[in-house]
């Protein structure tokens, strides 16, 4: 009985010491620098700060920009945490040795296909690409709402499709790669050539196409996820998930190698993967949660996941340079 009592006491003391140690680390690490490509990120980080007491300084930057700048800086960390964006850039960054391995205890709740086995990145949500269409102008011109990718190649959409630059935007890269994955490389490039005829120029960020569609500067914006803030402002937009294949990918979180605020960085990863954090993420920016025990937001309840384009994310990341080289040679404007 005494041995069991001493054993329980030792476990209790170990737990108290671990808690004290964690609190001491967090107390000394109450600030965090984050590069994010995520809608409603200020609201999300405010919720994290409220839960942990850690202040977040955040900078908006597309995943392609992050990768290019990290390479130019020869690995010098631009911030502590990289939050959201295209998984292809995270895969490339891991290959370049730019990310810090960290396997969060919460990662046990994440399917293996949505995380790096060594903990260099972990998905925090599933991003889906949809068409943001300006219903008012379509109605005025008598143009049917496009429901398929093929519909976007019609002459009625000449100069009216807005898409971001695949070499900068993770959204655009996966949109392009999904086209190739669904149709095969040869037919995929042929289809994209037809689509490119209706794209007057490529935007610098994934957030620009939906905004252009909302303001009537384009009829259709190829966009990641939903944009409730645009609808709340009264813009006449509708979301269309293409019936002939929905591009999608996990948006990851990662810690930059040699991050200055390492313990706070781990705390953000833990929170974003926790059930509490997942509920905040899906509420502030309606996306499919990465955890099976968190229900999708109501706005996505009717989306047929059977139409998701089958994707091999590791291959998509490995082929990034080759695909972008071909795109640059044939379509960069």
- The pLDDT tens digits of the residues spanning 273-309 come to 999 999 999 999 999 999 999 999 998 988 888 899 9
Q: Note the pLDDT of residue 5.
A: 44
How would residue 8 be classed by pLDDT, with cut points 50, 70 and 90? Answer: very low
Mean pLDDT, rounded, for 257-273: 97
Which range has the worst mean pLDDT, 248-252, 270-274, 277-281? 248-252
Confidence at 2, pLDDT banded by 50, 70, 90:
very low
With contact defined as beta carbons under 8 Å apart, do 25 and 18 qualify? no
Instruction: Name the percent of the chain lying above pLDDT 90.
Output: 72
Helices 185-196, 170-183: inter-axial angle, 10-degree rounding = 130
pLDDT of residue 228: 82
pTM higher than 0.85, yes or no?
no
Most confident of 24-38, 281-295, 306-320: 281-295
Q: Count Cβ neighbours within 10 Å for each residue of 226-253 and write b for 16 or more, e otherwise.
A: bbbebeeeebbbebbbbeebbbbbbbbb
Q: What does the pLDDT read at residue 28?
A: 53
pLDDT band at 333 (very low <50, low <70, confident <90, very high): low
pLDDT band at 21 (very low <50, low <70, confident <90, very high): very low
Checking if the pLDDT of 25 tops 70, the result is no
For residue 74, the model assigns a pLDDT of 87
Contacts of 225 by beta carbon, 8 Å cutoff, 6+ apart: 39, 127, 128, 130, 285, 286, 287
Identify the band that residue 261 occupies on the pLDDT scale cut at 50, 70 and 90: very high
**Residue 20 pLDDT:** 33
Asked if 102 contacts 236 with a C-beta cutoff of 8 angstroms, the reply is no
Say if residue 6's pLDDT is above 80: no
Res. 17: pLDDT tops 70: no
Q: What is the pLDDT of residue 139?
A: 97
Euclidean distance between CA atoms 197 and 176, whole angstroms:
14
């Amino acid at each position: 009985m005494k041995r069991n009592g001493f054993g329980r006491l030792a476990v209790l003391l170990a737990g108290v010491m671990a808690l004290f140690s964690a609190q001491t680390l967090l107390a000394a690490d109450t600030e965090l620098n984050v590069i994010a490509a995520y809608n409603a990120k200020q609201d999300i980080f405010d919720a994290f700060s409220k839960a942990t007491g850690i202040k977040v300084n955040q900078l908006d930057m597309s995943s392609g920009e992050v990768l290019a700048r990290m390479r130019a800086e020869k690995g010098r960390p631009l911030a502590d945490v990289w939050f959201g964006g295209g998984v292809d850039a995270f895969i490339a960054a891991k290959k370049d040795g730019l990310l810090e391995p960290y396997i969060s205890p919460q990662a046990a709740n994440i399917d293996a296909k949505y995380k790096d086995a060594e903990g260099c990145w972990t998905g925090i949500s599933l991003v889906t690409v949809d068409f943001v269409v300006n219903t008012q102008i379509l109605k005025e011109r008598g143009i049917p709402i496009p429901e398929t990718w093929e519909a976007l190649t019609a002459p009625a959409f000449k100069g009216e499709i807005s898409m971001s630059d695949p070499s900068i935007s993770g959204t655009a890269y996966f949109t392009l790669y999904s086209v190739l994955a669904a149709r095969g490389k040869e037919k995929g490039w042929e289809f994209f050539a037809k689509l490119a005829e209706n794209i007057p120029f490529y935007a610098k960020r994934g957030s620009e196409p939906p905004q252009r569609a909302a303001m009537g500067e384009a009829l259709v914006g190829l966009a990641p996820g939903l944009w409730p803030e645009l609808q709340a402002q009264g813009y006449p937009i509708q979301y269309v998930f293409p019936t002939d294949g929905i591009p999608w990918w996990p948006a990851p979180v990662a810690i930059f190698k040699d991050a200055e605020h390492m313990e706070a960085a781990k705390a953000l990863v833990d929170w974003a993967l926790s059930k509490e954090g997942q509920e905040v993420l899906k509420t502030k920016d309606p996306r499919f949660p990465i955890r099976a025990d968190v229900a999708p937001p109501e706005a996505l309840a009717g989306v047929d996941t059977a139409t998701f384009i089958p994707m091999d994310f590791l291959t998509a990341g490995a082929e990034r340079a080759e695909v972008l080289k071909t795109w640059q040679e044939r379509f960069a404007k």
